[in-house]
Amino acid sequence: MVSISTTSVALFAALIHTISAFVVTGATGGIGASGERPFRLNIVGMAQSGGPAWDLYILATQRFQALDQKERLSYFQIAGVHGYPQIEWDGVKGTPNPRYPGYANHADIIFLTWHRAYLAAYEQILQQNAIRIANQYPQDTAEQYRDAATTLRIPYWDWASSAAMPDATTRLNITVKTPNGTQTIVNPLAAYRFHPVPTTKELPPAGDFPFSQAPNTVRTPQTDFAAQTSAINSRLVSNANSLRDKVYGLLARQTEFAAFATTAYPASMRNGSLDNIEEIHNQIHALVGGDGHMTFTAFSAFDPIFFIHHAQIDRLWAMWSAINPGSYVIPLKNDQGTFAQPTGTVEDINTPLLPFRSQGSEFHTSATVRDMKDFGYSYPEIVDWEVSATELASNVRTAVNRLYQRQTSLARRRSNVRRGSTKRRDWYINFQGLRQTTTAFAINFFLEEPPAAPQDWATAPNLIVSQIVLADNSIDKVAPQAISQIPLSFSLELAMASGKLNGTDTDSVTAYLENNLLWTASFLNGDGCEPGALDGLDVSVVDQEVVESARMDQFHSYGKYNLHPELSYKRTESVQSGRGELADGVIRGTGQKFVQDSNTVSTATRSVRLGLGLHGIAVAI
């Protein structure tokens, strides 16, 4: 009899596990000798073009979602890596008492890099499903579909240039050419259908939505489990100008990776701009999700639009990186932690992106995911082969100006030859808040009076933006910060055009904002917020001198920010008693700080009105 030691058994078990571990390579195939790679395409154009690639994308998503939820490479398991059901995946164990139920990194320096590895894993598995389907087509079309599977990459949704949800992600049924002929099937991009529906332990309640009772993912649910697409599109369109300006400003003005990438980078260390790609990403999650899956980070990856949205985030990062190739991950402490990462970890370029393996027992890091080419894809704006870094940056700046620069300035930027410079002054709201409620809420900024009914705030014609603060998804309720910068210039131009703003000089603009910049607070279903939700709220107004460039391949030159203290407000604690003047169920101010009496305002109208009084004081709580 052969004697086998305990150590030998353990080593053998570890070897078997290593061999069977899932290694993230990204999608493979279609890569040329000069480094050319298949593009991730805009989903709108991809759907309109149709053909084998579109057929396979839909059918591969359908097959992926149909796999047994217990299988490691099933859609349910891959989506669950991000958050709930808080289970170990691919042998990567969790930490004791984690603050967040999933492996995903948020509000930290590796937010972008972790999600790049995540998308690569998703894309890799999707392509594997597509290849299996392609091999089933009849002989006369099999080669065409096999070629399409080789170059298949996930699409992105460019909500910054076309805010409404893509039709292909909302219709209930979709027609594709299958190996058995043309068929109309249930659209796998509209929702993921659980099979079986998870238990309360797997998907616990969050906010007001019973996640464990939902048979499918839902966007902005009301009384049933159906998506409210019209309401979502109305909100998206109302915020479209702000989204576009925010994306353009971030790509054109921000040059440091940490400030670009995450809400976790302290405001005190920034150059005056609080905007970042993570906060913009949060806005789309909530505008689409409402009280449904997409709004809650621990549930969001179950919604198929999650991956299309995150492909856009990855694309914007890739464009920014082409313009700013020298700036990347710096050491920064993660105060949130994850299922597998202890709270307080100082993350850097070599921090493992758990649970994604690069080989055997080694994990991807921010260093290994920095270049898209290592995962076998690119985007149409980033043709990074056979060009210098300088040429690439110039080409991408041109693409950014073409796609996202505000229409009112385009006439000045149609030439690649400098024709002189023009100075102007841009205005912004800097916003800071805490994610400390159990469901998301919005601070709705207006120029002039908002509608009387809170349900109309999110789509009002004078809305500047609905700045959404996501729910606190941590298990022990440790509130991360929400920071953002909201462009005001487009709204001010409209005020100028209508004759309400007399001039663009600083005195005219500050006087107009002091009397007309107002904001309200509400939950996403239109209900008013509890006053405590606003603790930590910090709103300020800044301006910045801009020297315009006439070249399409260059950005403007941006000066320092100037703070306007008379247009600033900071709330540090709740006040529980007192009384203010009431009108139409909305608290109104008189230039002095005051508080509301909870006995005076009915539950139906407990909206919180915040505004700037005649003395520049925010006057409602």
DSSP of 379-393: -TT---SSS-HHHHH
Work out the number of other CB atoms within 10 angstroms of the CB of residue 256.
15
**Euclidean distance between CA atoms 526 and 606, whole angstroms:** 10
Average pLDDT of every residue of the chain: 85
Residue bearing the bigger pLDDT, 469 or 602: 469
pLDDT band at 542 (very low <50, low <70, confident <90, very high): very high
Alpha helix ranges (H) inside 84-156: 111-134, 139-150
Residue 522 and residue 443: Cα distance in Å, rounded?
7
Strand partners, 422: 548
Question: Which single residue is written with the structure tokens 């992106």?
Answer: 353
Average confidence (pLDDT) over 590-612: 28
- Tell me the C-alpha distance between 19 and 16, whole Å: 5
| pLDDT higher at 426 or 610 | 426
**Out of 274-288, 334-348, 410-424, 574-588, which region has the weakest mean confidence (pLDDT)?**
574-588
User: Matching CATH topology for 26-202+230-401 and 416-611?
Assistant: no
User: What's the average model confidence in pLDDT over 596-611?
Assistant: 29
The answer, yes or no, to whether residue 434 has pLDDT greater than 90, is no
Question: CATH code for 26-202+230-401?
Answer: 1.10.1280.10
With tokens 């058995």, the residue in question is 180
What percentage of the chain reaches a pLDDT higher than 90? 69
Helix (H, G, I), strand (E, B), or coil: what is residue 59? Answer: helix
Tokens of residue 435, six digits: 């994610």
Going by C-alpha positions, the residue among 136, 154, 200, 157 that lies closest to residue 53 is 154
pLDDT at 606 over 90: no
Taking the C-alpha atoms of residue 385 and residue 388, their distance in angstroms, rounded to an integer, is 8
Residues of the chain above pLDDT 70, percent: 83
Q: What is the pLDDT of residue 436?
A: 61
Q: What is the rounded CA–CA span in Å between residue 153 and residue 38?
A: 7
Residue of 548, 473, 53 lying closest to 297 (CA atoms): 473
Confidence of residue 336 (pLDDT cuts 50, 70, 90): confident
CB 26 within 8 A of CB 376: yes
Describe the crossing of helices 277-289 and 229-238 by its angle, rounded to 10 degrees: 150
Taking 50 as the threshold, does the pLDDT of residue 37 lie above it?
A: yes
Which letter does DSSP use for residue 100 in this model? S
pLDDT at 478: 52
Under the banding of pLDDT at 50, 70 and 90, the label for residue 420 is low
At residue 520, does pLDDT exceed 80? yes
Cis before 266? omega within 30: no
CA 52, 55, 61, 67 torsion-angle sign? negative
Q: Can you give the pLDDT at residue 604?
A: 26
**pLDDT at 437 (0 to 100):** 65
Q: Report how far residue 467's alpha carbon sits from residue 279's, in angstroms, rounded to the nearest whole number.
A: 10
CATH number for the 416-611 domain, one of 1.10.3720.10, 1.20.1530.20, 3.30.70.141, 2.60.310.20? Answer: 2.60.310.20
Per-residue pLDDT, 441: 86
Residue listed under structure tokens 């995962």: 375
Residue 165 above 50 pLDDT? Answer: yes
Find, among 494, 493, 431, the residue nearest to 468 by Cα: 431
Q: Pull the structure tokens for residue 520.
A: 């309200």
Q: What is the pLDDT of residues 187-230, one digit of tens each?
A: 999 999 999 999 988 888 887 788 889 999 999 998 788 999 99
Residues 510 and 507: their CA atoms lie apart, in Å, by 5
416: tokens are 């690649």
> In angstroms, rounded to a whole number, what is the distance separating the alpha carbons of residues 32 and 418?
37
162 CB contacts (<8 Å, ≥6 apart)?
44
- Check whether 164 has a pLDDT greater than 80: yes
Query: Global pTM?
Result: 0.89
Q: Could you tell me the residue ranges of all domains in the chain?
A: 26-202+230-401, 416-611
CA 153 to mean position of chain CA atoms: 20
Of the candidates 183, 124, 178, 179, the one whose C-alpha atom is nearest the C-alpha of residue 154 is 124
Say how far apart CA 160 and CA 330 lie, in whole Å: 28
**Tokens encoding 512:** 């107009």
Q: Give the mean pLDDT of 581-596.
A: 28
